[in-house]
Amino acid sequence: MALGLPSLASFSVEILPEIDSTNTELMRRARAGRTEPTLLVAEQQTAGRGRMGRSWQSSTGDSLTFSFGINLAPTSWEGLSLAVGTSVAQSLSPVNGESIQLKWPNDLWWQGRKLAGILIETSAAPTSQAKERFAVVGIGINIRQREFDANLSTQPAWLQEISPTSSPQMALERLFAPLLRDLLEFERAGFAAFSSRFAARDGLAGRQVALSDGSQGEARGVDGSGALLVHTSQGLQRVASQEVSVRPQTLS
């Protein structure tokens, strides 16, 4: 079977000064039958969305906010957000020294603070291939220090702490081609191709965590499908739902 993602060159690239949300827009287009490979970058989002119905705040020049839409037909979709996070963390980490960590399932962390978030949504693809879906991968990265809502549960980090000359454009140029290559790998081999790279950046492993379902325990990495493993008083619990939030109880 011929597998293959569109090359970078075949993406239509749009940079918009303002839109409600790049994810919302690509999902709107998908519902209207428009599923061509598209990279949509917004300088400003007026209704940026995060996981679990949260909002994603950013302002022009301070952040990189983009989504891309792509048809994918992996054998299993499990672990996609972890694979995307692993790819982006690897692209943006300094060559030497401390690396960007991943907080299951979708966050990039720098020194215990949130650097970036990922929101993945899918819709049926207009194709005869049953397992193919149109995936919208949305990524928001804090680039420059700015005022943040003091009520944020996790304090932010920004890319200029790691690379002082970073800009939204530089970050996108650095991460996008490797991310497409990694998606091709995910489509071919699934999360298994990323599990050791994820483990090397797992910011929760070995830490006490509290889950939004009320349970708590020690994070013990992820299983082969990307589900979080937590050792609780009831034994080893497998957390697969992305609708469960996980909070480390102590930050280093």
131 among known catalytic residues: no
Among the listed residues 27, 35, 56, 87, the single contact to ligand BTN using CB under 6 A = 56
**What is the rounded distance in angstroms from the CA atom of residue 201 to the CA atom of residue 88?**
12
Between 50 and 221, CB nearer to ligand BTN: 50
Which of 29, 39, 49, 179 binds ligand BTN (CB under 6 A)? It is 49
If one asks whether residue 67 binds ligand BTN (CB under 6 A), the answer comes out as yes
R_g of the chain, CA atoms, integer Å:
18
CA distance 230 to 216: 8
Confirm if 158 and 143 have CB atoms less than 8 A apart.
Answer: yes
**Tally of CB atoms within 10 A around 21:** 23
- Please state the closest distance from residue 235 (CB atom) to ligand BTN, in A: 29
Annotated catalytic residue, options 51, 144, 174, 197: 51
Secondary structure element (H or E) that encloses residue 179, with its range = helix 168-189
DSSP 117-146: EEEEEEEE-SSS-TT-EEEEEEEEEE-S--
Catalytic residue (one of 29, 49, 114, 201): 114
51 is catalytic: yes
* Residue 6 DSSP label: P
- What's the closest the beta carbon of residue 90 comes to ligand BTN, in angstroms? 18
> Which of these ranges, 51-59, 89-97, 213-221, 226-234, lies near ligand BTN under the rule CB under 6 A?
51-59
The interface with ligand BTN within residues 87-146 (CB under 6 A) comprises: 106-107, 117-119, 138-140
Q: 192 in helix, strand or coil?
A: helix
Which residues participate in catalysis according to the annotation? 51, 114, 247
Contacting positions for ligand BTN (CB under 6 A): 21-23, 45, 48-51, 54, 56, 65-67, 106-107, 117-119, 138-140
